[in-house]
Amino acid sequence: MAKPLSLTIKEPVGELKKLLRKQPQHLKGRVQMLMLIKTGKALTKQALGEALGVSPTTAQGWRKLYADQGIKALLCFKRTNHKTSAITPEAHRAIELKLKNPKQAFTSYKALQHWVNKEYVPHMKYITLVKYVQRHFGAKLKVARKDHVQKDLKAVARFKKNGSTH
């Protein structure tokens, strides 16, 4: 059996703890790995993988990345799919305007999908559009019944004041 990779962690444990609190969830394991090596609790890639809940190959890759390039490279997350958005900036602005307009707002994602398919992006999948609208606009179209957009506000005020519509 090969001996564990000898790795010296330059950062003190206190600094690593501060870094751990600041990191997003998907990078916390990397800082935890440094803490385990610094304290001597796990030195082999198998022990690191088991302690962190990742494969030993992942732990080995993290160790090598830290040894070669340091902590900045270890905490840089470069995973992207480089896929361009199906929704153009023009369509994005149009959707935003439609969602913010109370008189022309959509009452369902199906109606929104039909409009986007007709006007901007043919064959847009339902779930793609739903997730896009939720992510970019925080929209929740499935809500309780709203007031009618053409209701008479004066009649509502009279009703509240007098208790009747007459």
Domain region containing 128? 80-166
CA–CA dist 87, 124 (Å, integer): 9
Together in a domain, 61 and 94:
no
> Does 143 score more than 60 pLDDT?
no
Provide CB contacts within 8 A for 30, sequence distance 6+. Answer: 23, 62, 74, 75
Together in a domain, 53 and 134:
no
- Tokens 């916390």 sit at which residue? 28
Instruction: Give helix then strand counts, H and E, for the chain.
Output: 9, 0
Together in a domain, 116 and 161:
yes
Together in a domain, 38 and 64:
yes
**pTM surpassing 0.75?**
no
> Do the Cβ atoms of 131 and 99 come closer than 8 Å?
no
> Does 15 score more than 60 pLDDT?
yes
pLDDT score, position 119: 92
Together in a domain, 67 and 98:
no
Q: What is the mean pLDDT of residues 101-129?
A: 87
- Tokens 């390039």 sit at which residue? 69
